[in-house]
A and B are shown apart, each in its own frame.
Chain A
Amino acid sequence: DTGVSQNPRHKITKRGQNVTFRCDPISEHNRLYWYRQTLGQGPEFLTYFQNEAQLEKSRLLSDRFSAERPKGSFSTLEIQRTEQGDSAMYLCANNEQFFGPGTRLTVL
Protein backbone atom coordinates (compact mmCIF):
# COMPACT_ATOMS: atom_id res chain seq x y z
CA ASP A 1 0.00 0.00 0.00
CA THR A 2 1.57 3.30 -1.17
CA GLY A 3 -0.82 5.51 0.74
CA VAL A 4 -2.41 6.81 -2.47
CA SER A 5 -6.07 5.83 -2.65
CA GLN A 6 -8.43 5.90 -5.61
CA ASN A 7 -12.19 5.60 -5.72
CA PRO A 8 -14.08 3.88 -7.05
CA ARG A 9 -11.89 0.87 -7.82
CA HIS A 10 -14.23 -0.26 -10.55
CA LYS A 11 -16.80 1.62 -12.62
CA ILE A 12 -19.12 0.23 -15.27
CA THR A 13 -21.10 2.76 -17.25
CA LYS A 14 -23.09 3.05 -20.43
CA ARG A 15 -21.81 4.97 -23.42
CA GLY A 16 -22.73 8.62 -23.20
CA GLN A 17 -22.79 8.81 -19.40
CA ASN A 18 -20.49 11.00 -17.33
CA VAL A 19 -18.12 9.51 -14.76
CA THR A 20 -15.89 11.02 -12.07
CA PHE A 21 -12.91 9.43 -10.35
CA ARG A 22 -11.20 10.58 -7.18
CA CYS A 23 -7.57 10.35 -6.06
CA ASP A 24 -6.44 11.00 -2.49
CA PRO A 25 -2.66 11.43 -2.47
CA ILE A 26 -0.11 11.30 0.30
CA SER A 27 -0.52 14.76 1.74
CA GLU A 28 3.12 15.83 1.82
CA HIS A 29 3.83 15.28 -1.90
CA ASN A 30 2.78 18.18 -4.09
CA ARG A 31 3.18 16.57 -7.53
CA LEU A 32 0.16 14.64 -8.76
CA TYR A 33 -0.22 12.82 -12.09
CA TRP A 34 -3.01 11.01 -13.90
CA TYR A 35 -2.16 8.19 -16.30
CA ARG A 36 -4.29 5.86 -18.42
CA GLN A 37 -3.39 2.24 -19.05
CA THR A 38 -5.02 -0.19 -21.48
CA LEU A 39 -4.47 -3.94 -21.52
CA GLY A 40 -0.98 -4.93 -22.60
CA GLN A 41 0.29 -1.34 -22.67
CA GLY A 42 2.27 0.83 -20.31
CA PRO A 43 0.64 3.80 -18.60
CA GLU A 44 0.20 6.93 -20.74
CA PHE A 45 0.45 10.41 -19.27
CA LEU A 46 -2.79 12.41 -19.11
CA THR A 47 -2.23 15.43 -16.88
CA TYR A 48 -0.08 16.89 -14.10
CA PHE A 49 -0.73 19.10 -11.09
CA GLN A 50 1.74 20.91 -8.92
CA ASN A 51 -0.28 21.79 -5.86
CA GLU A 52 -3.56 23.12 -7.28
CA ALA A 53 -2.12 24.28 -10.61
CA GLN A 54 -2.65 22.07 -13.67
CA LEU A 55 0.65 22.54 -15.51
CA GLU A 56 0.36 20.12 -18.41
CA LYS A 57 -2.32 18.23 -20.31
CA SER A 58 -1.60 15.50 -22.84
CA ARG A 59 -3.13 15.71 -26.28
CA LEU A 60 -4.76 12.40 -25.26
CA LEU A 61 -6.96 14.46 -22.94
CA SER A 62 -9.79 15.52 -25.23
CA ASP A 63 -12.29 18.22 -24.30
CA ARG A 64 -14.47 15.50 -22.76
CA PHE A 65 -11.89 15.06 -20.01
CA SER A 66 -11.38 17.51 -17.16
CA ALA A 67 -9.30 17.28 -14.03
CA GLU A 68 -9.17 19.38 -10.90
CA ARG A 69 -7.16 19.53 -7.71
CA PRO A 70 -8.84 22.01 -5.39
CA LYS A 71 -6.59 23.40 -2.66
CA GLY A 72 -3.79 21.10 -3.76
CA SER A 73 -5.21 18.10 -1.93
CA PHE A 74 -7.35 15.39 -3.57
CA SER A 75 -7.88 15.35 -7.32
CA THR A 76 -10.80 14.41 -9.54
CA LEU A 77 -10.87 13.27 -13.16
CA GLU A 78 -14.16 13.60 -15.00
CA ILE A 79 -15.03 12.07 -18.34
CA GLN A 80 -18.12 13.43 -20.07
CA ARG A 81 -20.11 11.55 -22.72
CA THR A 82 -18.06 8.39 -22.27
CA GLU A 83 -17.11 6.31 -25.30
CA GLN A 84 -16.12 2.65 -25.51
CA GLY A 85 -12.58 3.75 -26.27
CA ASP A 86 -12.39 5.31 -22.80
CA SER A 87 -12.39 1.84 -21.22
CA ALA A 88 -9.07 1.56 -19.37
CA MET A 89 -7.39 1.66 -15.99
CA TYR A 90 -6.99 5.22 -14.73
CA LEU A 91 -4.00 5.62 -12.43
CA CYS A 92 -3.13 8.43 -10.08
CA ALA A 93 0.46 8.98 -8.92
CA ASN A 94 1.97 11.15 -6.23
CA ASN A 95 5.37 11.99 -7.79
CA GLU A 96 7.17 9.06 -9.44
CA GLN A 97 7.29 6.60 -6.59
CA PHE A 98 3.72 6.32 -5.38
CA PHE A 99 1.00 5.02 -7.65
CA GLY A 100 -2.54 4.36 -6.51
CA PRO A 101 -4.34 1.08 -7.18
CA GLY A 102 -6.23 2.56 -10.12
CA THR A 103 -9.86 2.83 -11.21
CA ARG A 104 -10.93 0.30 -13.83
CA LEU A 105 -13.49 1.89 -16.19
CA THR A 106 -15.64 -0.24 -18.47
CA VAL A 107 -17.88 1.56 -20.96
CA LEU A 108 -20.63 -0.62 -22.40
Chain B
Amino acid sequence: EDQVTQSPEALRLQEGESSSLNCSYTVSGLRGLFWYRQDPGKGPEFLFTLYSAGEEKEKERLKATLTKKESFLHITAPKPEDSATYLCAVQAFGGATNKLIFGTGTLLAVQP
Protein backbone atom coordinates (compact mmCIF):
# COMPACT_ATOMS: atom_id res chain seq x y z
CA GLU B 1 0.00 0.00 0.00
CA ASP B 2 1.25 3.46 -0.92
CA GLN B 3 2.16 5.45 2.19
CA VAL B 4 3.71 8.77 3.23
CA THR B 5 5.24 9.53 6.64
CA GLN B 6 6.37 13.00 7.66
CA SER B 7 8.65 13.95 10.52
CA PRO B 8 8.83 15.68 12.85
CA GLU B 9 5.15 16.27 13.57
CA ALA B 10 5.99 19.74 14.89
CA LEU B 11 9.09 21.90 14.78
CA ARG B 12 9.85 25.15 16.54
CA LEU B 13 12.72 27.28 15.22
CA GLN B 14 14.20 30.62 16.05
CA GLU B 15 14.29 33.12 13.21
CA GLY B 16 17.40 32.41 11.15
CA GLU B 17 17.81 28.85 12.47
CA SER B 18 17.97 26.54 9.43
CA SER B 19 16.49 23.03 9.53
CA SER B 20 15.01 20.22 7.42
CA LEU B 21 11.67 18.45 7.25
CA ASN B 22 11.51 14.80 6.23
CA CYS B 23 9.04 12.94 4.03
CA SER B 24 9.48 9.16 3.77
CA TYR B 25 7.40 7.34 1.20
CA THR B 26 6.48 3.87 -0.01
CA VAL B 27 4.92 3.76 -3.44
CA SER B 28 4.63 1.13 -6.16
CA GLY B 29 5.96 3.50 -8.81
CA LEU B 30 6.59 7.17 -8.18
CA ARG B 31 5.08 9.53 -10.71
CA GLY B 32 5.81 12.62 -8.61
CA LEU B 33 6.38 13.92 -5.08
CA PHE B 34 4.73 17.18 -4.10
CA TRP B 35 5.33 19.70 -1.33
CA TYR B 36 2.69 22.14 -0.15
CA ARG B 37 2.38 24.84 2.45
CA GLN B 38 -0.92 25.14 4.31
CA ASP B 39 -1.96 28.05 6.51
CA PRO B 40 -4.71 27.56 9.11
CA GLY B 41 -8.19 27.43 7.58
CA LYS B 42 -6.89 27.55 3.99
CA GLY B 43 -6.28 25.12 1.17
CA PRO B 44 -2.81 23.74 0.42
CA GLU B 45 -0.52 26.06 -1.55
CA PHE B 46 1.66 24.28 -4.10
CA LEU B 47 5.43 24.63 -3.64
CA PHE B 48 7.33 21.96 -5.62
CA THR B 49 7.06 18.80 -7.68
CA LEU B 50 9.99 16.36 -7.82
CA TYR B 51 10.01 13.47 -10.28
CA SER B 52 13.24 11.51 -9.96
CA ALA B 53 15.94 10.71 -7.40
CA GLY B 54 18.62 13.36 -7.28
CA GLU B 55 16.33 16.15 -8.37
CA GLU B 56 16.39 19.42 -6.42
CA LYS B 57 14.22 22.53 -6.59
CA GLU B 58 14.49 25.87 -4.82
CA LYS B 59 12.18 28.75 -4.05
CA GLU B 60 13.33 31.62 -1.87
CA ARG B 61 14.36 30.07 1.48
CA LEU B 62 13.05 26.60 0.59
CA LYS B 63 14.88 23.76 -1.15
CA ALA B 64 13.39 20.34 -1.84
CA THR B 65 15.43 17.22 -2.57
CA LEU B 66 14.45 13.67 -3.50
CA THR B 67 15.94 10.20 -3.06
CA LYS B 68 14.40 6.81 -3.84
CA LYS B 69 12.91 6.56 -0.35
CA GLU B 70 12.51 10.08 1.00
CA SER B 71 12.39 13.78 0.35
CA PHE B 72 13.67 16.66 2.41
CA LEU B 73 12.44 20.23 2.58
CA HIS B 74 15.32 22.40 3.71
CA ILE B 75 14.48 25.79 5.19
CA THR B 76 17.36 28.24 5.24
CA ALA B 77 17.30 31.21 7.63
CA PRO B 78 13.55 30.98 8.20
CA LYS B 79 11.39 33.99 9.00
CA PRO B 80 8.21 34.12 11.11
CA GLU B 81 6.13 34.27 7.91
CA ASP B 82 7.38 30.76 7.05
CA SER B 83 5.29 29.43 9.94
CA ALA B 84 2.72 26.98 8.51
CA THR B 85 2.01 23.28 8.08
CA TYR B 86 4.11 21.70 5.34
CA LEU B 87 2.50 18.77 3.56
CA CYS B 88 4.16 16.14 1.42
CA ALA B 89 2.23 13.99 -1.07
CA VAL B 90 3.05 11.27 -3.61
CA GLN B 91 1.44 10.39 -6.87
CA ALA B 92 1.80 6.85 -8.16
CA PHE B 93 1.82 5.39 -11.64
CA GLY B 94 -1.11 3.23 -12.65
CA GLY B 95 -4.80 3.48 -11.91
CA ALA B 96 -7.39 5.74 -13.45
CA THR B 97 -6.33 8.91 -11.70
CA ASN B 98 -3.36 10.94 -10.56
CA LYS B 99 -4.68 11.15 -7.01
CA LEU B 100 -2.35 12.37 -4.29
CA ILE B 101 -1.56 10.45 -1.11
CA PHE B 102 -0.68 12.89 1.64
CA GLY B 103 1.31 12.66 4.83
CA THR B 104 0.01 14.22 8.03
CA GLY B 105 2.25 17.26 7.74
CA THR B 106 4.86 19.07 9.81
CA LEU B 107 3.68 22.08 11.79
CA LEU B 108 6.47 24.66 11.66
CA ALA B 109 6.60 27.61 14.05
CA VAL B 110 9.31 30.24 13.55
CA GLN B 111 9.77 32.59 16.45
CA PRO B 112 11.24 36.09 16.04
Q: Given A40-B104, A42-B103: A102 and B42 within 8 A (CB)?
A: yes
Bound CA–CA A91/B36 (angstroms): 14
Q: How many A-B residue pairs have CB under 8 A?
A: 63
B102 pairs with A48, CB closer than 8 A? no
Q: Given A42-B89, A42-B102: A102 and B96 within 8 A (CB)?
A: no
Bound CA–CA A43/B88 (angstroms): 10
Bound CA–CA A100/B41 (angstroms): 11
B96 pairs with A96, CB closer than 8 A? no
B99 pairs with A56, CB closer than 8 A? yes
Q: Which of A44, A56, A104 contacts B97 (CB 8 A)?
A: A56
Size bracket of the B interface = 20 to 34
B43 pairs with A99, CB closer than 8 A? yes
Q: Which of B36, B43, B91, B95 contacts A101 (CB 8 A)?
A: B43
Q: Which of B4, B32, B87, B95 contacts A96 (CB 8 A)?
A: B32
Cβ of A21 under 8 Å from chain B:
no
Q: Which of A42, A99, A104 contacts B105 (CB 8 A)?
A: A42
B97 pairs with A55, CB closer than 8 A? yes
Bound CA–CA A99/B37 (angstroms): 11
Residue of A nearest to B34 (CB): A96
B41 pairs with A48, CB closer than 8 A? no
| Shortest 3 CB-CB contacts between residues of A and residues of B | A42-B102, A99-B43, A48-B97
Apart from A41-B104, A91-B43, what are 10 other A-B pairs with CB-CB below 8 Å?
A2-B43, A2-B45, A33-B100, A42-B102, A43-B102, A96-B34, A96-B49, A96-B91, A99-B45, A100-B43
26 contacts between A and B (CB under 8 A): A2-B45, A33-B97, A33-B100, A35-B100, A40-B104, A41-B104, A41-B105, A42-B87, A42-B89, A43-B44, A43-B87, A43-B102, A45-B100, A48-B97, A48-B99, A55-B96, A56-B96, A56-B97, A91-B43, A95-B98, A96-B32, A96-B49, A96-B98, A97-B46, A99-B36, A99-B44
